[in-house]
A and B are shown apart, each in its own frame.
Chain A
Amino acid sequence: KQEVTQIPAALSVPEGENLVLNCSFTDSAIYNLQWFRQDPGKGLTSLLLIQSSQREQTSGRLNASLDKSSGRSTLYIAASQPGDSATYLCAVSTRPGNGNQFYFGTGTSLTVIP
């Protein structure tokens, strides 16, 4: 069974700092990987999706990379802002077909201090 781990569990940084969140998974035969943010008591907002054939994806100040062979992904956030404070979740799916079953990590809780 696919296991997804995220390190660190919590991170606190001053505003303006660049930061990296880490995600690792045990089964490298993934179909795609998706990064989400979750605000307290709220749903999940999709940030970036990386297909297994891709190495990275960028959206604004966010850059996600994927190294399938080593079972790792990173989410890079540039010039962090207080509004970036949230829990960031990594999820991987292991097979295509009629619907992807995503396996989630426990998340990294990010606090950006003004």
Chain B
Amino acid sequence: EPEVTQTPSHQVTQMGQEVILRCVPISNHLYFYWYRQILGQKVEFLVSFYNNEISEKSEIFDDQFSVERPDGSNFTLKIRSTKLEDSAMYFCASSLGTDTQYFGPGTRLTVL
């Protein structure tokens, strides 16, 4: 069964460094998303991406965040200058239409 994959599973970085989190959505899906979950808190929406552009973003998704679909398979989230409060589990999701979203296993980001 097709699934969303994410790499790395765990990323440790120093405050102020740039990180890129990578996702491979399900191949025929058209909508792509990033969510995050700070330990013990709710899953929060960051951004949705469709037709090679951002379609929605939350107030969390400020200028230090960016997303890109550099080729036909990868979908990336870049955090330019990480802060301690960016430590969280980051989930990528994809959907064929505006319906069921399929989530990846997540990347745990630890900012020291």
Q: Which residues of B contact A91 (CB under 8 A)?
A: 43
CB <8 Å contact, B91 and A32: no
The residue that B49 contacts in the complex, of A43, A46, A99, with Cβ under 8 A, is A99
**Residue ID in chain A nearest B50 by CB atoms:** A98
Q: Is the interface of B mostly helix, strand, loop or mixed?
A: strand
Cβ proximity bits B4-43 to A, threshold 8 Å, 1 near / 0 not = 1000000000000000000000000001010100000111
Binary contact readout A31-51 vs B (1 if CB under 8 angstroms, 0 otherwise): 110101000001111100101
Hey, which chain B residues are within 8 Å of A43, CB to CB? 4, 91, 103-106
Known: A32-B98, A44-B91, A98-B50. 14 other contacts (CB 8 A): A34-B100, A43-B91, A43-B105, A43-B106, A44-B43, A46-B101, A46-B102, A93-B98, A99-B48, A99-B49, A99-B56, A100-B98, A100-B99, A102-B101
Residue ranges of B at the interface with A (Cβ–Cβ < 8 Å): 4, 31, 33, 35, 41-45, 48-51, 55-56, 58, 91, 93, 95, 98-106
11 A-B pairs, CB-CB below 8 angstroms?
A43-B105, A43-B106, A44-B93, A46-B101, A49-B100, A96-B98, A99-B31, A100-B95, A101-B58, A102-B35, A104-B42
